Chain A
């Protein structure tokens, strides 16, 4: 039986967006990257901006994002994705530009680029996948690794006296005047998946208005790096990551009406 036979007479209600290639994801089972990729590309398709969107991939697990996202893309050096995105946006101000980065990339080696890009209020979207670990290089400690969390380079657990505290870079970003919309989301439940998609939509709408940087943190998991099953990893994330990195909006644009009431 062919697939077409099986769907004969049925209505097609769900499929891969044309903005994703048919290359299978290389991500581990249970990893949040695949969902985040798909949501981002669904939004690009639904908004009809495939021809006007340029993405920047990082160094990290999502280094090959350009294998999957069916749009023009650039692969940046480790930590430099927001600088590369700045270069693109400055010469193509009418295009939609985003960077997609992990915690090591954005919050360790690329901290300066991240902060200054947002501080300039570059009209781009920065997607920040935070799973508290270096996944691609095999599970080393990240800037966002929790206190006591065991990784291959914190084998006795992260000790804040030796290496400092997990960096809440999104909270730092939110206070910068250049940041227009800052939110922290996840992809662990159907409800949260819908919320993240909404955040992507808003960010591209805001980018059209040239208001400043939109910054979306996605608190995610790393079943392989954490040494857990996908189910265990999601449970661990909810019990340990969410209390330290609480989900929700950190900065939302005020509506005209709200501004009016503040002035009064």
Chain B
């Protein structure tokens, strides 16, 4: 009986934001700096309540600008650090993220994506895909980007993101959305203390006599040196490809492949069930790492499926990466709602049926 109890991991019903915040404490985050913004303020609130009791540092900054620069300082001083925000706040952090990427400091950033552009809406969106995966600030750099699709993954990916950030000395971003942050689901929380702290010989903790001083900087004024730093970064991003993660759903016999991440992927799973009831063989590839993007996995379906359908809560952003991966060998379509609107599984199925109809017309006309 005791053994059985031990085997049952702690399961709770939690909001995505709160599960993520609790996971952060369990992942050994030592300092959190943030600023309130809907729909992710529960993260700051939860940590303001829990971190002081459990030996962590939490500070509400005067702006996202200040918060991300506190992250720079604290990460440079060797601490495991985290911040979170939503779209407009993440935009404010882009300057700091560019510096952090250049100085090669590990940290966890969470974007609970809301509808934009501008102040937009507080409803869920995937409109920040470009910003998240293409760098976001100035210069040639990338964040490591993980996209959860459940409250469970909101918690689990904190551990994964921190592990990757520290392994590669690179900022890691969890790209969620307002629905994942706000919805409640059953979650089994990861065990506390399972993430070891790596040695950080580069950190500015005070210079002992026997070592050279440590400098955290993103300034390399000589172009030869700046090019060398850039080449090192690009080499790191190439190595990052080993970390590609994705999930396949009903792809064994699929004739149409949907590509969707996060909440859109959850919707597409339901679309698969509806489609298969009608005899339409739909499958889904769900990128888990948006950067590095699972380009080889996406490309591998080109010889198996008739076409791709990218489903996103935006005007068509990830579709560009899918098209680059497929490289013209199959048609790639898009379905998306914007501005905080969420597609229904039926809407996605209608889009599939619409494409099938036009495809069959064009196939007939070309005599295929």
A residues near B, CB below 8 A? Answer: 50-54, 56-57, 63-64, 66, 70-77, 80, 83-88, 90-92, 95, 112-113, 116
Contact = CB atoms under 8 A, between A and B. Distances in A.
A76 B73 CA distance: 8
Contacts of A86: 59, 66, 70, 73
Q: Describe B's contact surface by its main secondary structure.
A: mixed
Contact of A80 (B33, B65, B74, B75): B65
Contacts of B204: 54, 72-74, 88
B207 A50 contact: yes
8 contacts: A66-B215, A76-B73, A80-B69, A83-B70, A84-B76, A87-B75, A88-B74, A116-B61
Contacts of B214: 72-73
Interface stretch (B216-224, B266-274, B341-349): B216-224
Contact of B206 (A77, A90, A95): A95
A90 B67 CA distance: 13
Contact of A83 (B65, B78, B207): B65
Given A70-B207, A80-B69, A84-B73, 15 more contacts: A51-B206, A53-B206, A66-B213, A72-B213, A73-B213, A75-B216, A84-B69, A86-B66, A87-B33, A87-B74, A90-B74, A91-B81, A92-B206, A112-B65, A113-B69
B215 A74 contact: yes
A50 B209 CA distance: 8
Interface of B: 30-31, 33, 57, 59, 61-63, 65-67, 69-79, 81, 95-96, 99, 103, 204-209, 213-219
A88 to B, nearest CB: 4
Contacts, number: 126
A83 B213 contact: no
Contacts of A56: 73
A77 B31 contact: no
A76 B204 CA distance: 13
Nearest to B203: A72
A75 B74 contact: no
Contact of B73 (A53, A57, A85): A85
B105 to A, nearest CB: 10
A141 B307 CA distance: 59
A29 to B, nearest CB: 21
Given A88-B204, A92-B205, A73 B73 contact: no
Contacts of A53: 206
A19 to B, nearest CB: 10
Contacts of B207: 50-51, 70-72
B70 A66 contact: no
